[in-house]
Amino acid sequence: MSGLEILGFVAAILTTVCWLPQAFRTLRTKDTKSLSLLTQSAFTLGVGLWLIYGILAGNAPIIFANSVTFVLVAAILAMKLRYG
């Protein structure tokens, strides 16, 4: 694995697992007041489109990163819709 590949790998891991603390915080506090519904909706839709793109392009890293991210950000969106 080249240095560039490792950098991309670390970047992908960070922008994927970073949604875990937000999901757990929201689950625990049920507080979604500061979250923008428009941002959360558009981001979830965008990540979903990246996932479809990865599937159609047969790109395993894009599929993996975006499926994990999609589950987390869709859960945050669902809590925003529920708690307002």
Q: Does 31 bind a second copy (CB under 8 A)?
A: yes
Q: Does 71 bind a second copy (CB under 8 A)?
A: no
Residue type, 43: F
- Nearest 5°: phi and psi at 58? 65, 35
Residue 50: in which H helix or E strand, if any? helix 37-57
Between residues 21 and 81, which has the closer beta carbon with respect to a second copy?
21
Q: Does 19 bind a second copy (CB under 8 A)?
A: yes
Rounded to an integer, what distance in angstroms lies between the CA atom of residue 1 and that of residue 34? Answer: 40
> Which residues of this protein are in contact with a second copy, per CB under 8 A?
4, 7-8, 10-15, 17-22, 25-26, 29, 31-36, 38-39, 42-43, 45-47, 49-50, 52-53, 56-57
